[in-house]
Structure 1
Amino acid sequence: MPDPSEHLVTLYHLNDLGPAELRRLLPSHPDLRITEIGPDEDPRDHLGTLETATIVLAPLEKERRITAELLDAMPHCRLLQSVAVGFDGVDHRAAAERGIPVANLPGFNTDAVADWTVGALLYLLRPYAFGHAKVQRGKWGPEGVRGRDVSSLTVGIAGFGNIGRAVARRLDAFGARVLVHDPVPSEPAREYVDLDELAARSDVLTLHMPLNDATRGVIGEDVLRRMPRGSWVLNAGRGGVLDEAAVVRALDSGQLAGAALDVFTEEPLPASSPLRGRTDVLLNPHAAA
């Protein structure tokens, strides 16, 4: 068996923070071996490297997820570290069955994602890009530019963890009415409702839910149909929570006035996606954080 000395293997793309720079940031571990498996590489092609890994940084891409098969190839692994809030990059149940702890990074991107969410909402309510393009073309006037005041809206937040609560605080400052749906109430002063009521009463539905068996596809045709006609939906949580085909149909019918999506069921978003090329959709490349 290979020597199980300390060996950090990262399946998370380090960008400018390469192994040498990462080692410099860990002066108390001068002998730590660091290996990066790049974003275009299949981890299954690096089983020899994974065999000696004691710490593994999980990838963000679902396509390179650390599965039970890969876990079995890591006999010395003592920690799987997700570099995000969610666990999309690792089968944490399979890890638990093998006695390998999995850690995440709760709260590290809370403010950034909350800021993006409120900014995206403002973009939908007051079509800044349309107004800019209008002036650039030499046109003038309020037609197509006027929108709704945030203070006139009821905003439903589905998923009230760190990010959902940060969004609510920002919306409080705008004067919006905030409704919340979450299985675990964390702020008793908030008005908690079930998902059907949340949809029925919300002019804006913003999603900050984890992706699991209970939430996969939970925001679909039925939920969107319950919303007031001409409402908006935003997703800065996980792509698989929202049925994107149902969103397109709701936009086409006028049930939804607009949508803003930072996350998608398939990433990168396929070139054939009907979400592309629309003026009523704001797309972001999973970069709200």
Structure 2
Amino acid sequence: MPDDHLVTLYHLNDLGPDELRRLLPGHPDLRITEIGPDEDPHDHRAALADATVVLAPLEKERRITAELLAQMRRCRLVQSVAVGFDGVDHRAAAELGIPVANLPGFNADAVADWAVGALLYLVRHYAAGHARIAEGGWGPEGLRGRDLAALTVGIAGFGTIGRAVARRLDAFGSRVLVHDPVPSEPEREYVPLDELAARSDVLTLHMPLNDATRGLVGDALLARMGRGAYVINAGRGGVLDEDALVRALDSGQLAGAALDVFAEEPLPADSPLRGRSDVLLNPHTAGVTHEAYHAIRARLVESLDRVLSGQAPRNVVNGVIVNHAQPAPAR
């Protein structure tokens, strides 16, 4: 559409203005403004006020706030270039009639692969075995692991990624239990969260972060797990109370944990999770693969082309219903 203005605060995967223009040849008149990764979006109010489409930042510190959204009177879409959408105040956007969309599912296989790989890392003592040989040792003492077919794995959050994890565990022969408010595969065994923890040898978290889930997996829930159980978090960092996790590990209640996400990222240098042999730490890269990279680019371009062509956006996460993509009414 004429006079469209794309403002991007997204800075991964080499998607700068030149690359975006190359990927959107059907919109030769599109204006593109890039707000750099070290720049505060509040210093670019004029560009955002003129934007018709905005690519949200990944960093919560550079979040598109309610104050900025109130000035974005032409905005037809704030697009998150991820599954999560922490880079924009989506509730404020909803009140202003601005749709916020995400890109679900592009890295579901990547995250599911990591979660099952992390499970194997924990229950088969990969790190301890490697360290034994590296230190000149040998032998199985203390390295007796578990067969995945003998384990009950509880999946908390059964969206696209949770379902992908379940399919992989089915192939290993694990017993799979599920907790999710919306049953998507009725043949699965759905249980309340407390029961999920109590019955699972391994609890793997794939839940969104919101007011209801923040800190949900804490002392009380971890205490319900059998002694020597494991926890994996490849969902959102704030769902798991990291202090409670450390206490459970120190007491022996948990035998180990694997974390791809953290309440604060990067993980603080003084975090008690660092330097532990019973914790696998990963820098929020479970979903980073070559295949996921190409998938996210393709889905982003599809979303942008759709909205810039005057169609309603897909995958809107904040409840704004758009029948057709016209400039937002004056607010």
TM-score normalised by structure 2 residue count: 0.84
Q: Distance in 2 between matches of 1:278 and 1:48?
A: 48
Partner of 2:246: 248
Q: Tell me which amino acid in the other structure corresponds to 1:244.
A: E
Q: Deviations over 1:180-218 (max 9, x none)?
A: 000001111100000110010001000000111111111
* Root-mean-square deviation (Å): 1.3
Choose the corresponding residue for 1:33, options 17, 25, 31. 31
Query: Which deviates the most, 56-65 or 223-232?
Result: 56-65
Partner of 1:90: 88
* 1:268 maps to 2:243: no
Name the SS of the counterpart of 2:177 in structure 1.
Answer: strand
Q: Tell me which amino acid in the other structure corresponds to 1:212.
A: N
Partner of 2:99: 101
Q: Distance in 1 between matches of 2:78 and 2:210?
A: 19
Partner of 1:277: 275
Q: Distance in 1 between matches of 2:24 and 2:106?
A: 19
Q: Tell me which amino acid in the other structure corresponds to 1:104.
A: N
Partner of 2:127: 129
Gap runs ≥5 in structure 1: none
Name the SS of the counterpart of 2:213 in structure 1.
Answer: coil
Partner of 2:155: 157
Q: Distance in 1 between matches of 2:235 and 2:20?
A: 28
Choose the corresponding residue for 1:203, options 198, 201, 209. 201
Distance apart, 1:69 and its partner CA: 1.1
Contact 2:3 2:29 in 1 (8 A): no
Q: Distance in 1 between matches of 2:144 and 2:94?
A: 52
Q: Distance in 1 between matches of 2:270 and 2:59?
A: 20
Partner of 2:187: 189
Q: Distance in 2 between matches of 1:105 and 1:239?
A: 19
Q: Tell me which amino acid in the other structure corresponds to 2:121.
A: Y
Query: Which deviates the most, 73-82 or 180-189?
Result: 73-82
Q: Tell me which amino acid in the other structure corresponds to 2:159.
A: G
Q: Distance in 2 between matches of 1:158 and 1:30?
A: 45
Q: Tell me which amino acid in the other structure corresponds to 1:121.
A: L
Partner of 1:118: 116
Distance apart, 1:222 and its partner CA: 0.4
Aligned residue pair count: 286
Name the SS of the counterpart of 1:274 in structure 2.
Answer: coil
Q: Deviations over 1:26-66 (max 9, x none)?
A: 00011111222222222112212212111111111222222
Q: Distance in 1 between matches of 2:102 and 2:159?
A: 14
Distance apart, 1:15 and its partner CA: 4.2
Q: Distance in 2 between matches of 1:207 and 1:161?
A: 11
Q: Deviations over 1:130-164 (max 9, x none)?
A: 22232222211112433111111100000000000
Q: Distance in 1 between matches of 2:189 and 2:35?
A: 46
Q: Distance in 1 between matches of 2:61 and 2:142?
A: 40
Distance apart, 1:6 and its partner CA: 1.1
Q: Tell me which amino acid in the other structure corresponds to 1:191.
A: E
Distance apart, 1:106 and its partner CA: 1.2
RCO higher in 1 or 2 (8 Å CA, sep ≥ 6)?
Answer: 2
Distance apart, 1:178 and its partner CA: 0.4
Q: Tell me which amino acid in the other structure corresponds to 1:241.
A: V
Contact 1:5 1:52 in 2 (8 A): no
Contact 1:219 1:242 in 2 (8 A): yes
Name the SS of the counterpart of 1:16 in structure 2.
Answer: coil
Contact 1:13 1:36 in 2 (8 A): no
Q: Distance in 2 between matches of 1:136 and 1:180?
A: 39
Distance apart, 1:8 and its partner CA: 0.9
Gap runs ≥5 in structure 2: 288-331
Contact 1:8 1:35 in 2 (8 A): yes
TM-score normalised by structure 1 residue count: 0.96
- Give % identity: 82
Partner of 1:54: 52
Q: Distance in 2 between matches of 1:143 and 1:16?
A: 48
Q: Distance in 2 between matches of 1:146 and 1:167?
A: 24
